């Protein structure tokens, strides 16, 4: 089977993770712009970070046969510093048209503040301007209210639900999100959010239409192998292979319009990026198509 992890923060992960994911059948990843764990203090930090997502990280993934896409946006957790957030909004258009950028995101709510709503609305309009899908971060606190409010705002801006992936869902939100026609994504964490046993039961109950599995693996306790592990558990629990394929691969491909962007990935670890290699003196692997 082949997989995609459509929400994973690979900048926070090691090359060992890329090797393990490739061996497990992960063919592509989508890396959303993300909070670094502490507040950024100037616009240059955002500029360099966005540049790394469309540059170095794409190269690093390719060295292990994985195609790297990303989403660009002002994360909700960083929307409450108005002066800096205004500067970020100014530079977003410089990156939204870059190769490999497949959506604006992850955007949405964290504390449900007025500033978060203000920048959510601005970025929804940017997504319309650039004809990009939207990846939504639903809040970890007061999740159902935040999820419903986010969908209301999206619809006020005239964006079709089919253009939006609502992420970090759980059993409390899944029915509402599906009923309104959105792509409905679930983060599989080892100890919090959705575990893979719970994910199996969601698919058993709701089927596979518009449901997406991802890991959201980052610098915290998380698992970059969550998608293939969940797929394997679905298989053990007699979930039909069609449903596994849709939830762990095809739905994400369709939601983010990836089919036309896929390229055959040869591996040539003799290549350099800005004079850098991922190998640290090891013998390069070269595998032709």
Q: Write out pLDDT tens, residues 119-129.
A: 999 999 999 99
71's torsion region: left (phi>0), alpha (psi -120 to 50) or beta? beta
Q: Which residues pair with 261 in a beta bridge?
A: none
pTM of the model: 0.94
| pLDDT for res 192 | 63
Q: Which CATH architecture has domain 3-262?
A: Alpha-Beta Barrel (3.20)
Q: How many CB atoms lie within 10 A of CB 281?
A: 5
Contact call for residues 32 and 9 (beta carbons, < 8 A): yes
Residue 191, number of CB atoms within 10 A of its CB = 8
List per-block mean pLDDT (blocks of 10 residues) for the chain, which spans 289 residues. 96 94 97 93 97 96 95 95 97 97 97 97 98 96 95 98 97 97 93 79 97 94 94 97 98 96 79 79 76
């Amino acid at each position: 089977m082949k997989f995609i992890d459509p929400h994973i923060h690979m900048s926070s992960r090691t090359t060992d993770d890329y090797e393990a994911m490739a061996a497990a059948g992960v063919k592509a990843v989508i890396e959303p712009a993300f909070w670094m764990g502490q507040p950024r203090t100037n616009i240059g930090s955002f500029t360099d970070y966005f540049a790394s997502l469309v540059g170095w990280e794409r190269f690093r993934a390719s060295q292990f046969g994985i195609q790297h896409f990303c989403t660009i946006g002002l994360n909700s957790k960083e929307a409450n510093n108005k002066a800096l957030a205004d500067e970020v909004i100014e530079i977003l258009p410089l990156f939204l048209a870059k190769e490999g950028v497949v959506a604006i995101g992850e955007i949405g709510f964290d504390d449900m503040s007025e500033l978060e709503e203000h920048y959510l609305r601005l970025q929804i309009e940017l997504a319309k301007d650039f004809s990009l899908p939207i990846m939504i971060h639903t809040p970890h606190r007061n999740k159902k209210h935040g999820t419903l409010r986010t969908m209301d705002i999206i619809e006020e801006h005239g964006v079709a639900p089919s253009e939006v992936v609502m992420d970090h869902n759980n059993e409390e939100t899944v029915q509402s999100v599906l009923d309104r026609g959105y792509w409905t994504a679930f983060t599989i964490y080892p100890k919090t959010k959705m575990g893979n046993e719970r994910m199996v039961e969601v698919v058993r109950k709701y089927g596979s239409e518009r449901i997406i599995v991802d890991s959201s693996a980052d610098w915290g306790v998380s698992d970059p192998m969550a998608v293939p592990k969940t797929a394997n558990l679905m298989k053990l629990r007699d979930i039909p292979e069609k449903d596994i394929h849709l939830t762990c691969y095809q739905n994400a491909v369709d939601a983010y319009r990836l089919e036309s962007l896929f390229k055959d990935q040869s591996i040539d670890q003799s290549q350099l990026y800005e004079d850098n290699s991922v190998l640290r003196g090891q013998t390069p692997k070269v595998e032709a198509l």
